Amino acid sequence: MQRTTRVLVVVAVSFLFLIGGYWFLFTGDPVGRNKENTFSLPSTFTPSGQTEAPSGSTSAATLGNEPPQSVPHPFTHPANRKDLWVDVSQNEDTLIRRMAYIDDRFPSDGPFLVLILMHNEKKKKPSLFAKINYKDIPSICLPLEYWLQSGHLDLNHNLPEVYVNRVLRTKGQLRDEAPSSVQVTSDHKCNSGLSVSIPVRWNSREVSSKSVQRVKYGVCIHKALFGISDPQMLVDWVEIHKALGIQKMLVYLENVSESIPEAVGRYVRDGTLDLFDWHLNKRTRDFGQSGVMTECHYHFLYNAEYVATYDLDEIVISSEHKTWDDMFNELSKKHSDFNKIGTFLLYGLRWHTNFNESQHFSGHEKLCPKVKIPFYFKKTLRENKAWDHPKVIIKPVLTRLVQVHGANTVRGARGIKLPSESVACHHYRGEKEGKDHVWENAHFSDVMKKYEELVVKEVKKTMCSSQ
């Protein structure tokens, strides 16, 4: 009798484990909560900037043994537009960026593929499906969900925002092998109307450490550059960020003089700067700025600990520290839950030329023809009141969506606002000013003086050698 009881107990326990195993296999959630967008927060960053994998998730690193060998990014300037965009509407109302990303941050959903889309909001969104291609196993067909949206239809500007960024993700279980490419179609069986192949970027947290340069700090200019003819503006921007300790910068190009990429070739060659072509070629506000920011986020998702997005005439400066390392080390000491802080909101301070001040920068020897002292050191009048158009620094793995003046964190993370007295986004937008103009709401500040000697020296090295 006792033996029979023991056998029944063993059978019952085995049955419960079997049921539990099937529940976990199909839900990815061992306790059955299956919460939407639940993300297990990483406890710490390792010195390399790599996070621990979320508990309970199927890391995309397990979807195969080794990533493909590193090759030049297909968006690198100069690129053909056919390598940048896939038209799934036949009339360019729905354009998908020709790169897919693996996102494995949400255990309840398992790893899924992300596609970045720009859609003409005057038109109906099409129902789309993805044929997921593998190297050694059969393809699968999965529906695509319109998951996130950045930007909105706005017809009230001189140049209306018509094309809006949508983030698509696959719905359904990916196979164990890593996908090699995706094809998009409106056919729910993925048998016809397939687009050209869209490569899958290996940016999972484990895989990326083998194939992609990992950095602590990255910065993107948050719109594709257009209408700019002065290459020194970008050289100045790169050099001031190098002085701040930024290891990687990403700049998108829509329509600029070829003198721009030529002038910054030095930074592209040494790996400091990536120049990606955008070429949306649509009359929409800032040529699809919302899409640029989404792609910046996913490009750096597991490959940078912190990423900032702002304009060419902006920089984030701490009045108390010289580098971002010093700034974030101090912030980490002030917040006991620093590993759960996903976004840092920074208010803007506008700067103007101080014509009444003696030209403290005039001591620099003449740089070379047509080269100017960077405006960071010429505009020394700082407005007292912070500008209510904040910019943001994010931890990419803790951020759900980044936008022009803010960002949304994943569940379990939070954002904080930084006081403009200590850290601010310096805004050097050109303004109409003259020697007789008095800025009543401004005062002199030499906070940028600590960068002047090094930055001017490096600008001179870059600009003068190209003339």
Lookup: tokens for 7: 């056998």
Q: pLDDT tens string for the chain (467 positions)?
A: 444 555 444 444 444 444 344 333 333 332 222 333 444 444 332 323 333 333 333 333 334 334 444 467 899 999 999 999 999 998 999 999 999 999 999 988 889 999 999 999 999 999 999 999 999 999 999 999 999 999 888 878 777 889 999 999 999 999 988 899 999 999 999 999 999 999 998 655 555 455 556 899 999 999 999 988 899 999 999 999 999 999 999 999 999 999 999 999 999 999 999 999 999 999 888 889 999 999 999 999 999 999 999 999 999 999 999 999 999 999 999 999 999 999 999 999 989 887 665 455 455 556 687 788 898 998 998 988 887 789 999 999 999 999 888 899 999 999 999 998 899 999 987 655 555 455 668 889 999 999 999 999 999 999 987 65
Contact 330, 344 (CB under 8 A): no
Contact 234, 251 (CB under 8 A): yes
Lookup: tokens for 353: 């030329």
Contacts of 402 (CB under 8 A, 6+ apart): 150, 293, 294, 296, 297, 309, 392, 394
Torsion, Cα 94 96 101 102, to 10 degrees, reads: 40
Plot region of 174 (φ>0 → left; ψ -120 to 50 → alpha; else → beta): beta
Other C-beta atoms within 10 Å of 73: how many? 15
Given this model, what pLDDT does residue 318 score?
A: 96
Residues recorded for the chain: 467
Complete domains list, the chain, with CATH: 81-201 (no CATH), 210-465 (3.90.550)
Model pTM greater than 0.85? no
Buried b (16+ CB within 10 A) or exposed e, 441-466: ebeebebbeebbeebbebbbebbeeb
